[in-house]
Amino acid sequence: MEDMIFYDRLQFAFTITFHYIFPQLTMGLSLIILFFKGYYLKSNKEIYNDAAKFFMKIFAINFTMGVITGIPMEFQFGTNWAKFSELTGGIIGQTLAMEGTFSFFLESSFLALFIFGEKIMGQKLHFLTGFFVFLGSWASGYLILATNAWMQHPVGYEILENGKFVLTHFSQLFSNPWLLPAFLHNQMASLVTSAFVVASIGAFYLLIKKNEEHGKLFVKTGIVFGLVASLLVAFPTGDLNAKNVAKYQPAAFAAMEGIFETEHAGAEIVLIGQPNMVEKKLDNKIAVPNILSFLTYQDWNKQIIGMDHFKKSELPDNIPALYYSYHIMVGLGTIFIGIMMLSVVFLYRKKLYTFKPLLWTLLFLVPFPFIANITGWYVAELGRQPYLVYGLLKTVDGISPTVSSGNTLFTLLGFVALYMLLGLLFLILVGKTIYHGPKSLKH
């Protein structure tokens, strides 16, 4: 049984990790594309229209890969997690069906119109198609987060005698106190990723002295969007998310902050430290006293409950992975703020476009927002363990008992091989698009 759970979780973790490389870029990029197209209507400068069409081409490649890698996850609910689907399908099926029926078709339909319909529709209608692509991508994120928010903090449900969950208040799915902070945090994090991608492509053009006017526009747009989004990821959206975890999942909060023992007179915030699960402490710890209590409750001396307060069965089952994921996410987010602030200063002083160290930094930093986004999702999912539906349905009770660990491992190896090929294809297609540059789309 333990092998079955391990391989089921490992397969889903791999497929969703690879899949989420793509949606985090499409959601943020759709807003930046809308900005380029809108500014073109205002200024009538062709460079903005070039930028919108160029990045929509990257968006289309990314969107296609997201669809391809997302479909297997839907099937895994029926293969690896059949009991979970049977028990909770009456609730999570609502939002997942809405995401597929409304958001996906809205996004895909207007994406085709944006790419192929500019000359037929005219510029204002072309902008409108871009708006609907943006709306579809963000609505998709909202509905997926509504599903996840219910799993993190279940509301509006009733459990029947046969163990099945049924929805009693549809509106509570969307008024869930977990949903809005999680959605806004996720969208701002996605915008950080997209802003870094835009800025890095611009930095690349400036460094190789090709498409330099477009490069300047991309760098400028990327760092402005990136600075705003990076700040919003930290506050208020990240702050609100952390407070929700402290309120509704105190065991997860203690684990991700590395609090082994309850802090009765104000909790310190740990900057660096390694969880020692044998001695129940953090090794080589560097911490600032009382800060965590203040950030969480606006009280320097407020008690923070530690892991010693909970039974072992109530704690996340991989505390080191949760702790490190959280600190990687926070650490990278802090670096992003610093890099973007420095870039804006150089932009203001009109030195950014010629300062190669910073351009190289923007170029090579591009993978790290993807890492930060993915580790952020690890925090949410590892923190919810050992539950699929927090406090109500254990992970061990949601698997498919008839699917052997050998079958799951075999298909996992197949996914790894296939997704590596898809990843290589994605890099080739995007690389060719960047190589040809935005000017190739003018005629």
pLDDT tens-digit readout, 366-385: 999 999 999 999 999 999 99
Q: Could you give the percent of the chain with pLDDT greater than 90?
A: 91
Q: What is the pLDDT of residue 317?
A: 92
Classified as helix, coil or strand, 105 is helix
**Cα–Cα dist 10/365, whole Å:** 28
pLDDT tens for 135-153 read 999 999 999 999 999 999 9
pLDDT tens for 159-200 read 999 999 999 999 999 999 999 999 999 999 999 999 999 999
> Are the CB atoms for 87 and 398 separated by under 8 Å?
yes
Question: What range does the domain containing 233 cover?
Answer: 227-403
pLDDT value at 74 more than 90: no
pLDDT value at 443 more than 70: no
Does residue 290 lie within any of the structural domains? yes
Does residue 391 lie within any of the structural domains? yes
Does residue 309 lie within any of the structural domains? yes
Torsion over CA: 221, 223, 225, 228 (sign): negative
Q: How many domains in the chain?
A: 1
The residue written with tokens 């081409």 in the block is: 57
**Category of 122 on φ-ψ map: left (φ > 0), alpha (ψ -120 to 50) or beta:** left
Comparing 43-47, 75-79, 256-260, the range with the smallest average pLDDT is 75-79
Where does the pLDDT of residue 4 fall: very low under 50, low under 70, confident under 90, or very high at 90 and above? confident
**Cα–Cα dist 430/123, whole Å:** 26
Does residue 291 lie within any of the structural domains? yes
The encoded tokens of residue 235 equal 């506050």
**Cα–Cα dist 55/346, whole Å:** 25
Q: What is the pLDDT of residue 75?
A: 87
pLDDT value at 324 more than 60: yes
**Cα–Cα dist 98/144, whole Å:** 9
Question: Rounded mean pLDDT of 297-318?
Answer: 94
Does residue 138 lie within any of the structural domains? no
Q: What is the pLDDT of residue 294?
A: 94
The encoded tokens of residue 126 equal 């072309």
Among 188, 176, 172, 292, residue whose Cα is nearest residue 235: 188
Does residue 379 lie within any of the structural domains? yes
Question: Rounded mean pLDDT of 84-104?
Answer: 91
| Cβ atoms within 10 Å, residue 370 | 18
Does residue 395 lie within any of the structural domains? yes
Q: What is the pLDDT of residue 1?
A: 60
**Category of 10 on φ-ψ map: left (φ > 0), alpha (ψ -120 to 50) or beta:** alpha
**Cα–Cα dist 103/42, whole Å:** 28
| Cβ atoms within 10 Å, residue 301 | 13
**Cα–Cα dist 177/174, whole Å:** 9
Radius of gyration over every alpha carbon of the chain, rounded to an integer in angstroms:
23
Classified as helix, coil or strand, 286 is strand
Question: Rounded mean pLDDT of 25-35?
Answer: 97
Question: Which DSSP state fits 315?
Answer: S
pLDDT value at 2 more than 80: no
Does residue 272 lie within any of the structural domains? yes
**Cα–Cα dist 12/18, whole Å:** 10
Where does the pLDDT of residue 282 fall: very low under 50, low under 70, confident under 90, or very high at 90 and above? very high
Q: What is the pLDDT of residue 221?
A: 98
Where does the pLDDT of residue 7 fall: very low under 50, low under 70, confident under 90, or very high at 90 and above? very high
> Are the CB atoms for 269 and 288 separated by under 8 Å?
yes
**Cα–Cα dist 261/267, whole Å:** 10
Q: What is the pLDDT of residue 442?
A: 45
Q: Which whole-number Å values give the CA distances from 58 to 46, 139, 429, 437, in the listed order?
A: 19, 20, 9, 11
Better-predicted residue by pLDDT, 72 or 245: 245
pTM of the model: 0.95
The phi, psi pair for 302, rounded to 5°, reads -70, 140
| Helix and strand numbers, DSSP H then E, in the chain | 16, 6
Longest CA–CA span in the chain (Å) reads 69
Q: What is the mean pLDDT of the chain?
A: 94
Q: What is the pLDDT of residue 224?
A: 98
